[in-house]
Amino acid sequence: MKVAVIGTGHVGLITSATMAYLGHDVIGNDLDEEKIVMLQRGQAPFFEPGLTELLEETLGSGKLRFSFDSQEAIRDADVVFICVGTPPKASGEANLIAVESAAKDVARYAGGRVVVVEKSTVPAGTSARVRRTLERERPDFIDKFSVVSNPEFLREGSGIRDSLEPDRILVGAESPEAFEVMREIYAPLVDKGAKLVETNIETAELSKHACNAFLAMKISYMNALARLCERSGGDVDSVAEVMGSDERIGSAFLNAGLGYGGYCFPKDLQAFERLASRLGYDFGLLKEVERINDEAVDATADKIIDVLWNLDGKRVTLLGLSFKPDTDDVRFAPALALGRKLQAEGATVVGYDPQAMANAKSEMPELEVASDPYTAAAGSHCLVLCTEWAEFKTLDLDRLKQAMAYPLVVDGRNMFEPEEMEKRGFSYYPTGRSPIV
């Protein structure tokens, strides 16, 4: 099928490349001319494992092209995926102006029948707005447009695998014809066993927010338990193991630590809560999930202050700056929230990250960065593990300790082995587990 993808952020670019890989003829479109030029040369604008290779393959086969000309992208498309940003407004609500503008472009440039697919995360009810926009802008074409909600469930860092081996593909549509087109789009995955769930549009829109909010709730539940474990002598990782072996609970997303960040959970939770409130329902549970998430960073900052006493004149090293491993994304990264708190208390904060250093520096210019973990730890009074990158598992702990002024480690992701830390002579402060002092 002929596919246009509007927006080349994480979701849009991975959608473009994977749709092309599945055999469709894809044009990726973005307003950012510089980005399009980069993409035409096969350069990914962000770090995502496997993306450069997939771009090379699909650009090389001619299945994927990029254009900043919306008309060129849209005019022959059977399906247009809207993958534009939906950033939070000051109120927490999603700003849908880019979705409206993409819908207007589709109305303006559509050359024939077209299925307009919302892939960006949007509040329930958006499809009706998209349909109204299409109808207003192109009244003569009303019966040519179908609107579909097909939320994306990919994670940064494993986006390609999540797209090609999805747990489920969710399609909410308003007509049998639109379902038929979406079945054809996803046939290569469904033929290999992927589960296709078909619902009405509002259910699909709501399900996306429901999944993200539920996952965030699991994390906050564990972080609340971590606070309890720290006060009672329990061990949150063991509690997670016990809970996770109950298949009704499931073992994923039970890791306590510095909490969730990134561009999805924090903003989606707020948008979901705002949507509920607009619909007249007080979804207080979501506010509590957010509060506990903020508390996870505060509790870690308090622990560091407790261990170091005054932070003025002290140096604190943050290992890992991205919001999670395998991405260079630092948006709403707990590491940076923690760094800002420590700086406000007078500490000099120095960070190291395998991929996210440039982004961290532009988000937080006053952050010192170092070219490797050992340089970052030099003269440090406390080292905080903020993001569990695999390379931190194989650090030379003796070398790290030698570099530091005080051998103090706060583990915001419970990545290190307590026995090992004790053996190496560190004072070790994990999350929700007993410290070794």
Q: How far is the CB of 426 from ligand UGA (least distance, A)?
A: 23
Distant-in-sequence, close-in-space partners of 304: CB < 8 Å, separation ≥ 6? 311, 316, 342, 382, 384, 410
Q: Within 107-126, which residues bind ligand UGA (CB under 6 A)?
A: 121
Interface with ligand UGA, residue 259, by CB under 6 A: yes
Interface with ligand UGA, residue 77, by CB under 6 A: no
Interface with ligand UGA, residue 338, by CB under 6 A: no
Q: Which of 221, 265, 426, 429 binds ligand UGA (CB under 6 A)?
A: 265
Q: How far is the CB of 417 from ligand UGA (least distance, A)?
A: 19
Q: Within 310-329, which residues bind ligand UGA (CB under 6 A)?
A: 323-324
Near ligand UGA by CB under 6 A, which window of 94-102, 142-150, 261-269, 401-409? 261-269
Given the complex with ligand UGA, which of 68 and 323 has the nearer CB atom?
323
Distant-in-sequence, close-in-space partners of 38: CB < 8 Å, separation ≥ 6? 45
Q: How far is the CB of 50 from ligand UGA (least distance, A)?
A: 15
Residue 21: in which H helix or E strand, if any? helix 10-21
Q: Within 151-210, which residues bind ligand UGA (CB under 6 A)?
A: 152-156
Taking residue 426's Cβ as centre, other Cβ atoms within 10 Å add up to 23
Given the complex with ligand UGA, which of 116 and 222 has the nearer CB atom?
222
Given the complex with ligand UGA, which of 141 and 253 has the nearer CB atom?
253
Could you tell me which of 58, 60, 30 has the C-alpha nearest to residue 45?
A: 30
Scanning the structure block, which residue is given the tokens 């007993």? 434
- Rounded to an integer, what distance in angstroms lies between the CA atom of residue 437 and that of residue 424? 12
Catalytic annotation, pick one of 83, 229, 264, 382: 264
Residue 187: in which H helix or E strand, if any? helix 176-190
The partner residues of 146 in beta bridges, in order of sequence, read: 115
Q: Which of 215, 275, 299, 386 binds ligand UGA (CB under 6 A)?
A: 215
Q: How far is the CB of 134 from ligand UGA (least distance, A)?
A: 25
Q: How far is the CB of 254 from ligand UGA (least distance, A)?
A: 6
Where residue 70 falls (left for φ over 0; alpha for ψ -120 to 50; beta otherwise) is: alpha
Interface with ligand UGA, residue 430, by CB under 6 A: no
Interface with ligand UGA, residue 46, by CB under 6 A: no
Interface with ligand UGA, residue 257, by CB under 6 A: yes
Exposure class string for 176-195: b at 16+ Cβ within 10 A, else e: eebbebbeebbeebeeeebe
Given the complex with ligand UGA, which of 208 and 381 has the nearer CB atom?
208
Interface with ligand UGA, residue 255, by CB under 6 A: yes
Exposure class string for 261-274: b at 16+ Cβ within 10 A, else e: bbbbbbbbbbbbbb
Measured in whole angstroms, how far is the alpha carbon of residue 263 from the centre of its chain?
Answer: 5
Measured in whole angstroms, how far is the alpha carbon of residue 91 from the centre of its chain?
Answer: 21
Q: How far is the CB of 112 from ligand UGA (least distance, A)?
A: 31
Interface with ligand UGA, residue 262, by CB under 6 A: yes
Q: Is 83 designated active site?
A: no
Measured in whole angstroms, how far is the alpha carbon of residue 395 from the centre of its chain?
Answer: 26
Q: Give the total of residues touching ligand UGA (CB under 6 A).
A: 22
Nearest 10 degrees: CA dihedral of 220, 225, 230, 235? -120
Interface with ligand UGA, residue 389, by CB under 6 A: no
Near ligand UGA by CB under 6 A, which window of 32-40, 194-202, 259-267, 345-353? 259-267
- Rounded to an integer, what distance in angstroms lies between the CA atom of residue 209 and that of residue 264? 10
Q: How far is the CB of 399 from ligand UGA (least distance, A)?
A: 27
Instruction: Please say whether the dihedral angle defined by the alpha carbons of residues 55, 390, 330 and 156, taken in this order, is positive or negative.
Output: positive
Q: How far is the CB of 194 from ligand UGA (least distance, A)?
A: 15
Given the complex with ligand UGA, which of 215 and 383 has the nearer CB atom?
215
Residue ranges that bind ligand UGA, judged by CB under 6 A: 121, 152-156, 212, 215, 219, 253-255, 257, 259-262, 264-265, 268, 323-324
- Residues marked as catalytic: 264
